[in-house]
Each structure stands twice: as C-alpha cells, then as structure tokens.
C-alpha cells in the first residue's frame, strides 16, 4: 500500500497531522523540518511562488514533494489549497526558565490558533493545555495559527495541579473577572505562568488560591472579554512592561 | 399571509435581521426595545430562565412572544437555539465628541462581532465600517458580538475619505505594521479615530499620510497580528491610559 493510500483525513488519535495551505507548510519546513514525512502539492498551484519555495525547502531536507490533486482535495476542506505537509506530531517539555501560558479547557480551535500566533508576536514560546482542550495539532488549529505552532513548545496535562507540580518555580497569575489585582498594576515576577480558563465560563473560583489573581479592567457593559482577546491583551501588556 | 410566513433566513438586503439565542435576544430587548418587531421561542426552552426573562421584557414593551418551533428551527443554523428576536435594522450617526473605531474592509463576521464586544468593554461605542465590509447586522455577527451591537452606534461609508469628511475634528491614528510610532509611545489627542485595515493585508501605505500612524510592537517571529487581536490590544491600551 502506498503512502498516499494510507493517509486519511485528520483524527486526533493519529500520530501524524498536516498543514493546509502554502503559508503554514512553509512554516513547518522552516521550523520543524525533521518532523516532515511527506509533501503534496496541487497542479493548480504549480506557478505559485510559495510552491516554488516549498520545493526548494524540501530539496534541502531530502523530501520529494509529490503532485497529487486527489490527495490534496481529499484532505483540504476548502478549495484553493495548493500544498499539504504531512508531519509527525511532537510533544515537548516546556522551558523551566521561560514564562508560560496555561490554557485550562480551551474549546475553540480558532481561538487556540489565534492565541499561538499572538504568543509568538509577544515573545512567548511555551504553551500548556489542560485537558479536555481543543486539539493543538488539528489542521484547523494549525491554519488558524498560520503555522505558529511550529515555533512553540506545547505540553498537555490532565490536571492543572499536574502542571503545577512539574513547574514549581513558576509564579502563577490566574486571569479572572474577579481577580484581585488590575492588570496594569501587576508586578510580574519571572518566571511566571499566565493562566486562563475556557471560553464558556473562565476559571473556577478555586484558582483564586494560586499566586496573584489578575483582572483586566473593563467597563460594566460586558460580563467578560472573549478568551483570545483576554490572552492577547495580557501578553501585550506583559511584553511591553518587560521590554 | 402571516408574519411567520414572511420571515426568511437572513439576507443582507433585508430591512430586518434577528438574534439567535437567549443572550443576544435579551441584549436586543434591553438596549433597542423600539426596534423589536417579533419574538419567537422554542418549546424546548420553556423552562429556561432566559426565556422567562425574555417574556417579562416583551411584556414591558407590549410584544407578544410566540412559541413557534418551526420558525426557530428554520432561522437557526444550529440546534439548541431557544429564542429569536426579529428587529428592524438601524443606522446611526456617530457622536462628534466621542472617539471612533474605523474598520476598513473587515471581512470576517466572527472578528467583527468579537471587536464589537471588546469595544464595549473598553468604553468605545462608535464604530465605522468602510465598504466592502462584513455585515454588522448578519445574525452570525450579532451572535459573535453577544448582542454587543445593540449598545453601539454603527455607521457605514463607501470610502474612508467620506468618513473623514464627516468627522473632520477627529485625529486619525491608522494602525499599520510599518506605523511611525510605537503604541505605548502614542499620546492620543481626543476625539480620535483608531483606523484598522482588513484581515488579509491591513491598511495600504497611503494611510501613512493621515495623522499619526501607529504600530503595535511585536517580535519578528510574525508578520502581523490577527485583526481582532490588534484592535483589542489598541482599545485596551487607549482605555488604560485614559482612565
């Protein structure tokens, strides 16, 4: 059986995943070249500059890109997908000395991908997911991250306390609408972990016991901000005050 | 022909739109009661507390909510929608003295709704859309805004210069990846307009000629932030320094 016959539409139990589209595929090749297993492109994209770049990068790492319209159409869930890169999923330990972002039960792959990209923009490369959580390696998450996932360390834990036990030196800052300190007043002690709850209800009140709880000051016109907005604002703020 | 037969799935040319779900429907009733034309609920939601609140609010404004499972199922694009409020779309002039947010060709309804909600959180109630733009009144935008649109003034213009001609006193701050001033260093002069380009390519370079162009300082790991992230960060920052 050929490789092309074995590859199926993504399921989270697979040991591999894939990039959809030229941009995230280039990011895969640039940042995780040793995880690449196969590369497919569509005949429609043959003149696309990105495809030329993908071919050159594949050449450097000794992978032969294959023109295979059927495979691309099978895996892509929208038209105009020119490239698909199959790669082996990777798990990583986080850096003990760097700051972390911890997401407790995030449910939206779109939000998760957006957050990954924003992390990179604000110099943050260590992401923890507490399960159940949206799948970091789903092709939809990867696309939403614009391939940002390939520059991140991502580690998943079953419980927050398991994370906490593994990274005891991190100062915990849970972001909560009833947090004790307003974001602009927080003095962050490094290395720290910014902790956020899921889209529906945020963090439960027992997180008030960890470290210093933080609230983003908003008007009373809304109950809470969208998760990705809260994360983006917090990452921006901590980046600015540390730079 | 009864009202129920006339109401169709949303199309942007309609003079009416509708809320999908309990939360945005309550926001509609609270903030734009005189625009409400009809109210439908699903028999499955009859014990839902939100439906009880909707009935009480309808009673106050003299609207009779109708149990109509077929209508709710016809208009809703996902299950578990318990309430739908039909309302007349409204256009509004912006406040001459208040700060504005200007979005030039935003294309994602999800982003637009998220931005609306974040605006409210940071005390910003005046939104301008430069066409072509995602439809502010599409039920998907309304749902993504969690009904936030009902507390906003929204005005649409065909061109940025049309907006500029109408609000000449506003100091223009275009947000651009090559902006001249870093966001933390900007001294905002009121009333101001924060101006953002669309998801794909941001603002074109001719916006550098307007007012003071602003960049959000990011690492070099990414080309640009997601639109909703850029807007959220900018609104947070300007809210914090003015409060």
Superfamily of domain A100-241: SPOUT methyltransferase, trefoil knot domain (3.40.1280.10)
Residues in chain A within 8 Å Cβ distance of B219: 120-123
**Percentage above 70 pLDDT, chain B:** 98
- The radius of gyration of chain A's CA atoms, rounded to the nearest angstrom, is 20
The β-bridge relationship of strands B16-20 and B83-88 is antiparallel
Residues of A in contact with B118 (CB under 8 A): 225-226, 229
Give contacts of B24 with chain A, Cβ < 8 Å.
none
Give dist(CA A101, CA A234) in Å, integer.
Answer: 10
Subunit contact B236:A240, Cβ cutoff 8 A: no
Task: Tell me whether residues B225 and A218 touch, CB distance under 8 A.
Answer: no
**Model confidence at B95: pLDDT above 60:** yes
**Are A243 and B121 inside 8 Å of each other by CB?**
no
Inform me whether the pLDDT recorded for B1 exceeds 90.
Answer: no
Q: Which of A1-5, A7-11, B81-85, B123-127 has the lowest mean pLDDT?
A: A1-5
Output the pLDDT for position B162: 97
Res. A109 pLDDT band, cuts 50 70 90: very high
Q: Report the relative pairing of strands B83-88 and B36-41 from DSSP bridges.
A: antiparallel
- Average pLDDT of the residues in B62-66: 95
With b meaning 16 or more CB within 10 Å and e meaning fewer, what string describes B81-102? Answer: bbbbbbbeeeeeebeeeebbbb
Q: What is the pLDDT of residue B15?
A: 95
**Mean pLDDT on A27-50:** 96
Distance CA A211, CA A116 (A): 24
Which of A36-50, A113-127, B3-17, B224-238 shows the lowest per-residue confidence on average (mean pLDDT)? B3-17
Sign of CA dihedral B217, A192, A133, A83: positive
Closest residue of chain B to A235, computed from CA coordinates: B233
- Can you give the pLDDT at residue A3? 66
Report yes or no: A3 and A24 within 8 Å, Cβ to Cβ: no
Residues in chain B within 8 Å Cβ distance of A119: none
CB-based contacts of A19, cutoff 8 Å, min separation 6: A25, A27, A28, A83, A84, A85, A87, A139, A142, A143, A147
pLDDT (0 to 100) of residue A210: 94
Q: What residues of B are in the A interface, CB distance below 8 Å?
A: 110, 114, 117-118, 120-123, 146, 148, 151, 184, 216-219, 221-222, 225-226, 228-229, 232-233, 236-237, 239-240, 243
Strand partners, A218: none
* Residue-level pLDDT at A2: 62
**Residue A77: what pLDDT?**
79
Q: Considering only CB atoms, which residues of chain A are within 8 Å of chain B?
A: 110, 114, 117-118, 120-123, 146, 148, 151, 184, 216-219, 221-222, 225-226, 228-229, 232-233, 236-237, 239-240, 243
CB B134 within 8 A of CB B108: yes
**Least Cα separation, residue A222 to chain B (angstroms):** 6
pLDDT tens digit sequence for A144-189: 999 999 999 999 999 999 999 999 999 999 999 999 999 999 999 9
Do B87 and B61 touch, CB atoms closer than 8 A?
no
Domain with CATH 3.40.1280.10 in chain A: 100-241
Q: Tell me the pairing of strands A66-67 and A36-41.
A: parallel
pLDDT, averaged across chain A: 95
CATH 3.30.1330.30 location in chain A? 3-88
The count of CB pairs under 8 A between chains A and B is 80
The pLDDT tens digits of the residues spanning B165-211 come to: 999 999 999 999 999 999 999 999 999 999 999 999 999 999 999 99
Task: Say what the pLDDT of residue B2 is.
Answer: 62
Which token pair is B147?
A: 């009904």
Please state which of the four CATH numbers 3.40.980.10, 3.30.9.10, 3.30.1330.30, 3.40.50.720 is assigned to the domain occupying A3-88. 3.30.1330.30
């Amino acid at each position: 059986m050929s490789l092309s016959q074995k590859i199926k539409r993504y399921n989270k139990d697979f040991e591999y995943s894939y990039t959809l589209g030229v941009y995230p595929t280039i990011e895969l090749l640039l940042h995780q070249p040793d995880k690449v297993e196969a590369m497919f492109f569509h005949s429609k994209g043959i003149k696309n500059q990105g495809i030329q770049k993908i071919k050159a990068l594949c050449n450097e790492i000794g992978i032969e890109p294959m023109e295979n319209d059927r495979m691309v159409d099978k895996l892509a869930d929208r038209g105009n997908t020119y490239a698909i890169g199959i790669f082996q999923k990777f798990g990583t330990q986080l850096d003990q000395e760097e700051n972390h972002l911890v997401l407790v039960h995030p449910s939206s792959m779109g939000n998760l991908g957006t957050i990954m990209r924003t992390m990179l923009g604000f110099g943050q490369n260590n992401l923890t997911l507490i399960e159940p959580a949206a799948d970091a390696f789903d092709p939809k998450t990867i696309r939403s991250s614009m391939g940002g996932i390939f520059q991140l360390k991502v580690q998943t834990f079953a419980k927050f306390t398991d994370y906490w036990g593994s990274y005891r030196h991190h100062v915990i800052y849970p972001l909560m609408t009833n947090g004790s300190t307003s974001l602009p007043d927080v003095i962050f002690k490094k290395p720290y972990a910014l902790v956020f709850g899921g889209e529906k209800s945020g963090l439960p009140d027992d997180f008030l016991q960890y470290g210093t709880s933080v609230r983003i000051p908003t008007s009373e016109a809304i109950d809470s901000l969208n998760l990705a907005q809260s994360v983006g604002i917090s990452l921006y703020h901590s980046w600015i005050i540390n730079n």
